[in-house]
Amino acid sequence: MQPIAAWRRLLAEFVGTALLVTAVVGSGIMATTLSPDDIGLQLLENSVATAFALGALILTFGPVSGAHFNPVVSAADWFLGRRTGTGLTGTQLAGYAFAQTGGAILGSILANLMFDLAPVTFSTKERSAGHLWLGETIATAGLLLLIFALARSGRATVAPAAVGAYIGAAYWFTSSTSFANPAVTIGRAFTDTFAGIAPGSVPGFVAAQIFGLILGVGLLLALYPTVGRSADDIVVPTERLSS
């Protein structure tokens, strides 16, 4: 048996990220339609749908690509695994990030089309403030801690439920509603709906997510010095299938 072919892994990351953003944006549109006068209920509906969708997508695509769906997860996987020869290579990291970002943009377009909106409607929702950036930093660092701690302790099999639960909860305990993902952040700029973010707010969110990446990796190295040995099991272990 041979490792999974690169194109299959990239396709899994592309389609998985696209469907994740479709779920985020589509459930946001549905929430505003069903509960137009209750923002709290809209957020609840959006967060529950996102959490369930994320868990299902990790189960679906994890055996092929690991189900990163997130450039900061892929970057942490590369950095932590490089000294032990595990995880992604630099070339694979670039491919994953490109596939994830392209998939995220497609996801917004698909959601717009499903709800009879123009394919691309750039968001006008400004999300530029220090407290929001702090929320993104905390959300991203926490996500990385969860994913890599599960792998290092041999509990990666519960990652679909745990990661979905964390993101669903982080919608509520972070000021930014926990984007925690540069690709998803870029994709959500392409929809002027509940889940959107104005293009001008994207750089600040991405910078905060990179800070979260640095913080999360630092904490992982302090808490789990040998965490790099588990980089092949992020977010869940891939299967060794014939190419």
Contact indicator for 156, 150 with CB cutoff of 8 Å: yes
pLDDT in tens, 121-147: 999 999 999 999 999 999 999 999 999
pLDDT in tens, 153-207: 999 999 999 999 999 999 999 999 999 999 999 999 999 999 999 999 999 999 9
> In the predicted model, is pLDDT for residue 241 greater than 60?
no
pTM of the model: 0.95
At residue 120, the 3 state secondary structure works out as coil
Q: What is the pLDDT of residue 3?
A: 80
Crossing angle of helices 71-81 and 202-223, rounded to 10°: 30
- Residue whose C-alpha is closest to residue 181's, from 97, 122, 237, 108: 97
Q: What is the pLDDT of residue 238?
A: 86
Domains of the chain plus CATH, in order, are 6-227 (1.20.1080.10)
Contact indicator for 172, 43 with CB cutoff of 8 Å: yes
Q: What is the pLDDT of residue 240?
A: 52
Place 1 in a pLDDT band, splitting at 50, 70 and 90. very low
pLDDT in tens, 20-74: 999 999 999 999 999 999 999 999 999 999 999 999 999 999 999 999 999 999 9
Query: What is the tally of helices (H) and strands (E) in the chain?
Result: 8, 0
The token pair that represents 49 in the structure block: 């749908």
What's the CA angle centered on 77, arms 75 and 81, to 5 degrees? Answer: 125
Place 108 in a pLDDT band, splitting at 50, 70 and 90. very high
